[in-house]
Amino acid sequence: MGDQLLRLYRKDQLEYKIVGILDDDPVKHRMLMHGMEVYGGADELEACIKKLDVKAIIIASVKIEKDRINEILDIASRYEVSVKIVPSLFEIEEDQVNATDLRDINVNDLLGRAPS
């Protein structure tokens, strides 16, 4: 999903300016994805917020754990950074939304449930 967002960003089809990527997969750390550096895992979020003057965080993982979402929300709140998430695969498959329809975190995200 992150790869898809980067492709859309490169085509000016995303309303956010991407300044960097975090990925928990150590194989991707320090790589470039579509010209963007992968800084490391979510454990580097706070450092990246400070270093890159981050204004918003986009969670592009469709399989993120609720504890990880809570951790990201906690860090973001300390720096007054907004957090958006890509729609679930269920929403995309049901043609309810597009991958670029980023939204705020909701209760279903925190409970780990599919939207009803």
pLDDT, average across residues 17-33: 92
What local confidence, expressed as pLDDT, does residue 46 receive? 95
Band (pLDDT 50/70/90 cuts) for residue 116 is very low
Burial bucket for residue 85 (CB in 10 Å: 0-12, 13-18, 19+) = buried
Res. 106 pLDDT band, cuts 50 70 90: low
CATH 3.40.50.720 for domain 2-107, yes or no, is yes
Question: What pLDDT, on the 0 to 100 scale, is given for residue 45?
Answer: 95
* pLDDT band for position 38 (cuts 50, 70, 90): very high
Max mean pLDDT range (63-67, 97-101, 104-108): 63-67
Cα–Cα distance measured from residue 38 to residue 89, given in angstroms and rounded to the nearest whole number = 23
Domain spans, the chain: 2-107
Spatial CB neighbours of 41, under 8 Å, sequence gap ≥ 6: 22, 23, 24, 25, 26, 29
E strand map for the chain:
21-22, 32-33, 36-40, 56-59, 82-85, 103-104
